[in-house]
Amino acid sequence: MARPLIRWVHKRLIEAYGRPEWEIREEPLAELIVTVLSQHTSDINCDRAFASLRASFESWEAVRDAALPAVQEAIRCGGLAAVKAPRIQAILRALTDNAGQVALPRPIERAFLLTLPGVGKKTASCVLLFGARLPAIPVDTHVHRVALRTGMAPPKTSADLTCDILEAALPPDAYYAFHVNLIRHGREVCRAQRPRCDQCVLRDRCLYVRADR
Protein backbone atom coordinates (compact mmCIF):
# COMPACT_ATOMS: atom_id res chain seq x y z
CA MET A 1 0.00 0.00 0.00
CA ALA A 2 2.79 2.43 0.86
CA ARG A 3 4.80 1.94 -2.32
CA PRO A 4 2.47 3.86 -4.69
CA LEU A 5 2.19 6.68 -2.14
CA ILE A 6 5.96 6.93 -1.72
CA ARG A 7 6.44 7.10 -5.47
CA TRP A 8 3.72 9.75 -5.72
CA VAL A 9 5.41 11.78 -2.98
CA HIS A 10 8.74 11.54 -4.80
CA LYS A 11 7.12 12.76 -8.01
CA ARG A 12 5.36 15.68 -6.32
CA LEU A 13 8.53 16.77 -4.54
CA ILE A 14 10.48 16.69 -7.81
CA GLU A 15 7.79 18.86 -9.37
CA ALA A 16 7.95 21.29 -6.44
CA TYR A 17 11.69 21.45 -5.75
CA GLY A 18 13.38 19.98 -8.79
CA ARG A 19 15.88 17.13 -8.97
CA PRO A 20 18.97 18.05 -6.94
CA GLU A 21 22.32 17.05 -8.34
CA TRP A 22 24.04 14.34 -6.34
CA GLU A 23 26.91 16.00 -4.49
CA ILE A 24 29.59 14.57 -2.24
CA ARG A 25 30.02 16.62 0.95
CA GLU A 26 33.16 15.02 2.39
CA GLU A 27 35.29 11.95 1.78
CA PRO A 28 33.71 8.93 3.55
CA LEU A 29 35.71 8.97 6.78
CA ALA A 30 35.28 12.71 7.22
CA GLU A 31 31.56 12.32 6.49
CA LEU A 32 31.37 9.70 9.23
CA ILE A 33 32.93 12.07 11.77
CA VAL A 34 30.75 14.98 10.59
CA THR A 35 27.64 12.89 11.06
CA VAL A 36 28.66 11.97 14.60
CA LEU A 37 29.22 15.66 15.33
CA SER A 38 25.84 16.56 13.83
CA GLN A 39 23.88 14.54 16.38
CA HIS A 40 21.60 16.72 18.52
CA THR A 41 22.96 20.03 17.30
CA SER A 42 22.51 22.57 14.53
CA ASP A 43 24.29 22.46 11.17
CA ILE A 44 26.17 25.63 12.09
CA ASN A 45 27.49 24.20 15.35
CA CYS A 46 28.38 20.93 13.64
CA ASP A 47 30.37 22.74 10.95
CA ARG A 48 32.19 24.77 13.57
CA ALA A 49 33.07 21.67 15.59
CA PHE A 50 34.34 19.82 12.52
CA ALA A 51 36.44 22.79 11.39
CA SER A 52 37.88 23.12 14.89
CA LEU A 53 38.70 19.40 15.05
CA ARG A 54 40.53 19.47 11.71
CA ALA A 55 42.40 22.63 12.69
CA SER A 56 43.45 21.16 16.04
CA PHE A 57 44.87 17.88 14.75
CA GLU A 58 46.97 17.13 11.68
CA SER A 59 45.47 13.71 10.98
CA TRP A 60 42.80 11.24 12.06
CA GLU A 61 45.55 9.23 13.72
CA ALA A 62 46.39 12.30 15.82
CA VAL A 63 42.73 12.60 16.86
CA ARG A 64 42.71 8.92 17.79
CA ASP A 65 45.86 9.16 19.91
CA ALA A 66 45.15 12.51 21.58
CA ALA A 67 44.20 12.86 25.20
CA LEU A 68 40.42 12.75 25.49
CA PRO A 69 40.15 16.26 27.03
CA ALA A 70 41.96 17.72 24.01
CA VAL A 71 39.44 16.22 21.61
CA GLN A 72 36.58 17.34 23.82
CA GLU A 73 37.90 20.88 23.82
CA ALA A 74 38.29 20.89 20.04
CA ILE A 75 34.63 19.96 19.46
CA ARG A 76 33.08 21.70 22.46
CA CYS A 77 31.38 24.32 20.26
CA GLY A 78 29.29 21.55 18.69
CA GLY A 79 27.70 20.43 21.95
CA LEU A 80 27.75 17.10 23.80
CA ALA A 81 31.54 16.94 23.58
CA ALA A 82 31.73 14.53 26.52
CA VAL A 83 29.71 12.00 24.51
CA LYS A 84 30.97 12.66 20.99
CA ALA A 85 34.72 12.83 21.70
CA PRO A 86 35.07 9.30 23.11
CA ARG A 87 32.75 8.00 20.38
CA ILE A 88 34.91 9.54 17.67
CA GLN A 89 38.08 8.11 19.19
CA ALA A 90 36.46 4.67 19.53
CA ILE A 91 35.47 4.75 15.86
CA LEU A 92 38.97 5.77 14.78
CA ARG A 93 40.50 2.98 16.86
CA ALA A 94 38.10 0.48 15.30
CA LEU A 95 39.19 1.67 11.83
CA THR A 96 42.92 1.40 12.52
CA ASP A 97 44.65 -1.11 10.24
CA ASN A 98 47.71 -3.25 10.93
CA ALA A 99 49.98 -0.41 9.85
CA GLY A 100 48.45 1.94 12.38
CA GLN A 101 46.60 3.98 9.78
CA VAL A 102 42.95 4.96 10.09
CA ALA A 103 40.91 4.06 7.01
CA LEU A 104 37.52 2.78 5.95
CA PRO A 105 37.72 -0.55 4.13
CA ARG A 106 36.56 -0.59 0.51
CA PRO A 107 34.02 -1.16 -0.79
CA ILE A 108 32.14 0.73 1.90
CA GLU A 109 29.10 -1.21 3.09
CA ARG A 110 26.34 -0.26 5.51
CA ALA A 111 26.61 -3.59 7.31
CA PHE A 112 30.22 -2.84 8.21
CA LEU A 113 29.52 0.74 9.24
CA LEU A 114 26.86 -0.52 11.65
CA THR A 115 29.52 -2.53 13.52
CA LEU A 116 31.38 0.66 14.47
CA PRO A 117 30.91 2.09 17.98
CA GLY A 118 27.82 4.28 18.23
CA VAL A 119 27.03 4.15 14.49
CA GLY A 120 23.36 3.62 13.71
CA LYS A 121 21.46 3.27 10.47
CA LYS A 122 21.04 7.01 9.88
CA THR A 123 24.76 7.72 10.36
CA ALA A 124 25.75 4.80 8.15
CA SER A 125 23.32 5.93 5.46
CA CYS A 126 24.73 9.47 5.51
CA VAL A 127 28.24 8.11 4.97
CA LEU A 128 27.03 6.10 1.98
CA LEU A 129 24.92 8.84 0.41
CA PHE A 130 27.02 11.93 1.06
CA GLY A 131 30.52 10.46 1.39
CA ALA A 132 30.67 7.48 -0.95
CA ARG A 133 27.99 8.34 -3.51
CA LEU A 134 26.19 5.09 -2.79
CA PRO A 135 22.40 4.80 -2.62
CA ALA A 136 20.83 5.10 0.83
CA ILE A 137 18.02 7.08 2.44
CA PRO A 138 19.08 8.52 5.80
CA VAL A 139 16.02 8.95 8.01
CA ASP A 140 16.55 11.95 10.26
CA THR A 141 13.87 13.78 12.23
CA HIS A 142 12.59 15.66 9.16
CA VAL A 143 12.33 12.59 6.92
CA HIS A 144 10.77 10.55 9.72
CA ARG A 145 8.20 13.24 10.52
CA VAL A 146 7.08 13.66 6.91
CA ALA A 147 6.95 9.89 6.38
CA LEU A 148 4.71 9.37 9.41
CA ARG A 149 2.44 12.34 8.76
CA THR A 150 1.83 11.45 5.13
CA GLY A 151 1.33 7.75 5.80
CA MET A 152 4.40 6.60 3.87
CA ALA A 153 5.19 4.68 7.06
CA PRO A 154 2.60 3.39 9.55
CA PRO A 155 2.12 5.25 12.86
CA LYS A 156 4.86 4.69 15.44
CA THR A 157 7.17 3.08 12.87
CA SER A 158 10.80 3.45 13.96
CA ALA A 159 13.25 5.49 11.93
CA ASP A 160 15.21 2.37 10.98
CA LEU A 161 12.12 0.54 9.73
CA THR A 162 11.00 3.68 7.90
CA CYS A 163 14.34 3.61 6.08
CA ASP A 164 13.65 0.05 4.95
CA ILE A 165 10.14 0.95 3.74
CA LEU A 166 11.30 3.99 1.76
CA GLU A 167 14.26 2.23 0.18
CA ALA A 168 12.12 -0.74 -0.86
CA ALA A 169 9.65 1.55 -2.65
CA LEU A 170 12.06 3.49 -4.86
CA PRO A 171 14.84 2.68 -7.31
CA PRO A 172 18.30 3.38 -5.87
CA ASP A 173 18.97 6.19 -8.34
CA ALA A 174 16.04 8.09 -6.81
CA TYR A 175 17.31 7.95 -3.22
CA TYR A 176 19.40 11.11 -3.24
CA ALA A 177 16.76 13.41 -4.70
CA PHE A 178 14.05 11.89 -2.53
CA HIS A 179 16.08 12.35 0.66
CA VAL A 180 17.22 15.90 -0.10
CA ASN A 181 13.72 17.02 -1.12
CA LEU A 182 12.16 15.44 1.97
CA ILE A 183 14.65 17.29 4.16
CA ARG A 184 13.78 20.56 2.47
CA HIS A 185 10.06 19.89 2.73
CA GLY A 186 10.35 19.01 6.42
CA ARG A 187 12.32 22.14 7.21
CA GLU A 188 10.31 24.62 5.17
CA VAL A 189 6.74 23.26 5.13
CA CYS A 190 6.09 20.13 7.21
CA ARG A 191 7.69 21.63 10.29
CA ALA A 192 7.48 20.02 13.71
CA GLN A 193 5.65 23.04 15.11
CA ARG A 194 3.05 24.96 13.08
CA PRO A 195 3.37 23.04 9.80
CA ARG A 196 2.35 25.03 6.73
CA CYS A 197 -0.28 22.60 5.51
CA ASP A 198 -1.93 25.21 3.30
CA GLN A 199 1.33 25.44 1.29
CA CYS A 200 2.01 21.69 1.18
CA VAL A 201 2.19 19.97 -2.22
CA LEU A 202 1.42 16.67 -0.47
CA ARG A 203 -1.75 17.80 1.30
CA ASP A 204 -4.10 16.01 -1.12
CA ARG A 205 -2.99 12.64 0.22
CA CYS A 206 -1.65 13.56 3.65
CA LEU A 207 -3.10 11.72 6.67
CA TYR A 208 -2.10 14.57 8.97
CA VAL A 209 -4.14 17.07 6.97
CA ARG A 210 -7.13 14.73 6.86
CA ALA A 211 -7.00 14.22 10.62
CA ASP A 212 -6.74 17.96 11.22
CA ARG A 213 -9.79 18.57 9.06
Following DSSP, what letter does each residue of 15-56 receive, concatenated?
HHH--------S-HHHHHHHHHHHTTS-HHHHHHHHHHHHHH
Q: Per-domain residue ranges for the chain?
A: 2-21+136-212, 28-131
Cα separation, 198 vs 146, in Å, equals 15
Please state the CATH superfamily assignment of the domain spanning residues 28-131 in this structure.
Hypothetical protein; domain 2 (1.10.340.30)
Give CATH for domain 2-21+136-212: 1.10.1670.10
Instruction: Report pLDDT for 211.
Output: 78
- List pLDDT tens digits, range 134-186: 999 999 999 999 999 999 999 999 999 999 999 999 999 999 999 999 999 99
Helix (H, G, I), strand (E, B) or coil at 96: strand
* C-alpha–C-alpha distance, residues 116 and 174, integer Å: 27
> What whole-number distance in Å separates Cα of residue 202 and Cα of residue 77?
37
Known catalytic residue at 122: yes
Catalytic entry in 11, 84, 121, 122: 122
